[in-house]
Amino acid sequence: RSKDAGGGVFHSYEPQLHMAAEERRVLEIALRSAVENSEMHLTYQPVVVAATGQLTGFEALLRWTHPQFGNVSPVKFVPLAEEARLIAPIGEWVLRTACDEAARWDIPVRIAVNVSPEQLHNPAFVSVVAQALAQSGLPPERLELEVTESVFMREGTVAIEVLEKILDLGVRLSLDDFGTGYSSLGYLAHTRFSSIKIDRSFVQGASKGTKEAIAIIRAVVALADSLGMATTAEGVETEEEHLMVQQLGCSKVQGYYFGRPLPVHEARVLAMHATGSSAAA
């Protein structure tokens, strides 16, 4: 099919818009068969204790390598998968793979998995989580699901009920990209999050000395402390940023300074060294 098929009219005024729409269409089609074609894999980024640098776990981050397009960033394809209603099957694959891989390590570190709002608005998601745990044998307390504030912006109580049932399974929840959404804080009173992840934009701002960013991190740390939650600073790239967020009271840190997202085997080796475990391959 020609690239111009059906798009000739827009092409003359809005070449960029047209390109974007065409690219999206092509990527969406490719995305439909990405899992079955084994084009996806997970990488694991270390999360460490701010004060000691001790490893506490990993965040599983999805990677897509298409045979022609190469590596496509999740920043691009996750929103596309959400719009095309493909995030449920892809997310299910992510959850099963993360639980299987982590269970095989047999090392007591926690694995965090990102979950899209779309997945949480479906009551069937509870059994997807329960099955991933049962089939892998991963203890529920070693799984953490990362959700964003946007999940609370939609009407209805389905997502809140789903989150409650996931907590009942013994799985932990963290609140991702905190401070970048537009939601009210009310939900913090009724959903038990173990930790709040402070978005990288505030970390960067704080280390540049931006007063507002520093004030926001202080306020989030105070809020989390008073609610009995931990705080994780995201995207820490330098020693300076590490010292800054540590001084501001963040309990955990994650970022290139401590480690990039790693292939599964490298993450396992890191975990073995960090925990002094001698688990066999």
Please give the residue ranges that form the binding site for Mg ion (CB under 5 A).
114, 146, 176-177, 234
Cβ burial, residue 67 (10 Å; 0-12/13-18/19+): exposed
Those residues with Cβ within 8 angstroms of residue 139's Cβ, 6 or more apart along the chain or in another chain: 133, 170
Choose the contact partner of 261 out of Mg ion, ligand C2E, none; CB within 5 to 8 A by kind.
ligand C2E
DSSP codes, 214-237: HHHHHHHHHHHHHTT-EEEE----
Choose the contact partner of 237 out of Mg ion, ligand C2E, none; CB within 5 to 8 A by kind.
ligand C2E
- By CB under 6 A, the count of residues binding ligand C2E is 23
Report how far residue 277's alpha carbon sits from residue 266's, in angstroms, rounded to the nearest whole number: 15
Answer yes or no whether residue 85 interacts with ligand C2E by CB under 6 A.
Answer: no
Residue 112 Cβ, how far from Mg ion at the closest point, in Å? 7
Residue 101 is encoded by which pair of tokens? 């891989």
Answer yes or no whether residue 57 interacts with ligand C2E by CB under 6 A.
Answer: no
Q: Which listed residue (56, 97, 114, 207) binds ligand C2E by CB under 6 A?
A: 114
In the complex with ligand C2E, the residue whose CB is nearer, 200 or 268, is 200
In the complex with Mg ion, the residue whose CB is nearer, 92 or 149, is 149
Binding mask 197-236 for ligand C2E (x = CB under 6 A): ---x---------------------------------xxx
Question: How would you classify residue 131: left for phi > 0, otherwise alpha for psi between -120 and 50, otherwise beta?
Answer: alpha
